Amino acid sequence: MIDLPRTIEWRDGRVRLINQLLLPEKLEYIETTDWRRIAKAIKDMEIRGAPAIGVAAAFGLALYAYHNRADTLEEFMEGLREAAKVLSSTRPTAVNLFWAIRRVLEAAEKAGSVEEARRRVIEEALAIQREDEEANRKIGEYGEQLIDDGDTVITVCNAGSLATSYWGTATAPIYTALERGKRVRVFALETRPYLQGARLTAWELHRAGVEVYVVTDNSMGILAEKEKIDLAIVGADRVTRLGYVANKIGTYPLSLVSRVHNIPFYVAAPTSTIDMDAAGPEDFEIERRDPREVLYWRGVRIAPEGVSSIYYAFDITPPQLITGIITEKGIAYPPYIKTLRKVKGL
Ligand code: MRU
């Protein structure tokens, strides 16, 4: 039985979330009643991963709804929209953030009174969290069929339980395979500069009893050459209707290496990550973070003074390098323009 800690929880007007900046050294929680603290946690990456930040933003709005004392619906909605604006400005690439905020706002807009709006906001946020976990369980069911006993899977960043409500996206097929008695070995690319692979993926997989190896990002070529890698499974921050996939920096090079070495390259993502309004890379923003995150390691400068860095936090893998996209509605295969519409129910 795999038992992972809950990434984020709603506890009667309080939100408790794992402070992911402290892992793997310490498993510590942040508890707050303040929606602004949630916005800070997303911005500072105390919580991260596309589905998890969607849930966090929804819970931020739920905190606003729970604690706000507005007398009129107009006043309540004005404050809610302001909170939504602040939460939306925290990180630009993962579409789940905007999707979740829009869902909660639309639920509130249907209300006829402040009390109803409060209740609707909280219920919608809880539904988003519940559905995320359900989606991941289904991704596990579909993805598990791609894994044979004894396989080695390579992944990048953390698209694990920590990046979602529970079970993860890229890790879901691995956990489900493990529960069904299959032996799976995982190569976790360390994922410079935030080291989500080394710190987070290795932590949760090891805890779950998976044989995991932390490998440097720049070793992906030689690993594909020398080691038996059966499958690449990565997460996504945004999938466009044509099948372009924005995910953590290093995903695109992994897809290229996988193509050259005939390793099937799968993306695992809930349909909430599919953005039908975006066609290609020009239709959304790739987050660029502070160069200091590259130039310093835990406060120690590792590059010469006077030198800067160009730091994109995500890259974009083109559809032609993607074998399939594992969603909770099944695995979408090319041509994505057709199959993504189908899994979206359009
Ligand atoms: O910058 P991060 O840590 O938020 O990036 C996370 C990723 O790139 C994940 O692969 C993605 O969000 C999918 S999480 C299930």
pLDDT digits (tens, 9 = 90+) for 50-63: 999 999 999 999 99
Q: What is the DSSP string of 232-245?
A: EEE--SEEETT--E
Q: How far apart are CA 232 and CA 265, in angstroms?
A: 5
295 with 189, same domain: the answer is: yes
Is residue 91 helix, strand or coil?
coil
Q: How far apart are CA 62 and CA 34, in angstroms?
A: 10
pLDDT band at 107 (very low <50, low <70, confident <90, very high): very high
Q: How far apart are CA 322 and CA 164, in angstroms?
A: 22
131 with 148, same domain: the answer is: no
Q: Give the count of alpha carbons within 13 A of 284, CB side only.
A: 29
Domain membership flag for residue 76: yes
Residues lining ligand 1, judged by CB closer than 6 Å?
48-51, 94, 157, 159, 163-164, 168-169, 196, 235-237, 247-248, 313
274 with 306, same domain: the answer is: yes
Identified catalytic residue from 132, 237, 275, 315: 237
Q: What is the pLDDT of residues 196-211, one digit of tens each?
A: 999 999 999 999 999 9
Structure tokens at 217: 């990002």
Top mutation candidate among 201, 247, 254 for ligand 1, by most atoms within 8 Å of CB: 247
Contacts of residue 222, defined as CB under 8 A and 6 or more positions apart, other chains included, come to none
Domain membership flag for residue 71: yes
Q: What is the pLDDT of residues 274-285, one digit of tens each?
A: 999 999 999 999
> Rounded to the nearest 5°, which phi and psi values hold at 287?
-65, 130
Task: Give me ligand 1 centre to Cα 199, in Å.
Answer: 13
DSSP letter at 285?
P
- Check residue 38 and give its pLDDT: 98
222 with 77, same domain: the answer is: no
Atom of ligand 1 nearest to the CA of 157: 10
| DSSP β-ladder status, 8-10 and 15-18 | antiparallel
Do you know the residue count of the chain? 346
Summary mean pLDDT of the chain: 98
126 with 81, same domain: the answer is: yes
High-pLDDT (> 90) share of the chain, % = 99
> Rounded to the nearest 5°, which phi and psi values hold at 294?
-90, -40
Distance of CA 333 to the CA centre of its chain: 21
DSSP letter at 185?
E
Which of 84, 118, 137 is the last residue before a domain boundary?
137
**CATH number for position 239:** 3.40.50.10470
- Check residue 127 and give its pLDDT: 98
Atom of ligand 1 nearest to the CA of 53: 4
Task: For residues 74-86, give the mean pLDDT.
Answer: 98
Is residue 31 helix, strand or coil?
strand
Domain hosting residue 131, numbered range: 8-137
Is residue 105 helix, strand or coil?
helix
Question: Quick check: 118 and 66 in contact, CB under 8 A?
Answer: yes
Q: What is the pLDDT of residues 291-320, one digit of tens each?
A: 999 999 989 999 999 999 999 999 999 999
Top mutation candidate among 8, 48, 217, 315 for ligand 1, by most atoms within 8 Å of CB: 48
163 with 121, same domain: the answer is: no
- Check residue 298 and give its pLDDT: 87
**CATH number for position 98:** 1.20.120.420
Domain membership flag for residue 1: no
pLDDT band at 1 (very low <50, low <70, confident <90, very high): confident
Does the annotation mark 237 as catalytic?
yes
For residue 274, CA distances in Å to 108, 287, 343, 344 come to 23, 18, 9, 8
High-pLDDT (> 70) share of the chain, % = 100
Top mutation candidate among 44, 156, 157 for ligand 1, by most atoms within 8 Å of CB: 157
- Is the previous residue joined to 24 through a cis bond, with omega within 30 degrees of 0? yes
186 with 72, same domain: the answer is: no
Q: Between vectors from CA 142 to CA 136 and to CA 147, what angle results, nearest 5°?
A: 110
Number of Cβ atoms within 10 Å of the Cβ of 159: 33
Domain total in the chain: 2
pLDDT band at 268 (very low <50, low <70, confident <90, very high): very high
Q: How far apart are CA 17 and CA 31, in angstroms?
A: 7
* Buried residues in 86-119 as b, exposed as e (16+ CB within 10 A): bbeebbbbbbbbbbbbebbbebbeebeebeebbe
Which of 107, 137, 167 is the last residue before a domain boundary?
137
Q: In degrees to the nearest 10, what's the CA dihedral of 85, 87, 92, 97?
A: -110
Question: Quick check: 96 and 53 in contact, CB under 8 A?
Answer: yes
Question: Quick check: 13 and 35 in contact, CB under 8 A?
Answer: no
Task: For residues 28-39, give the mean pLDDT.
Answer: 98
Closest CA to 332 of 345, 314, 315: 345
Residue corresponding to tokens 């299959």: 182
Atom of ligand 1 nearest to the CA of 48: 4
Q: Flag whether pLDDT at 142 surpasses 90.
A: yes
**pTM of structure:** 0.98
- Check residue 80 and give its pLDDT: 98
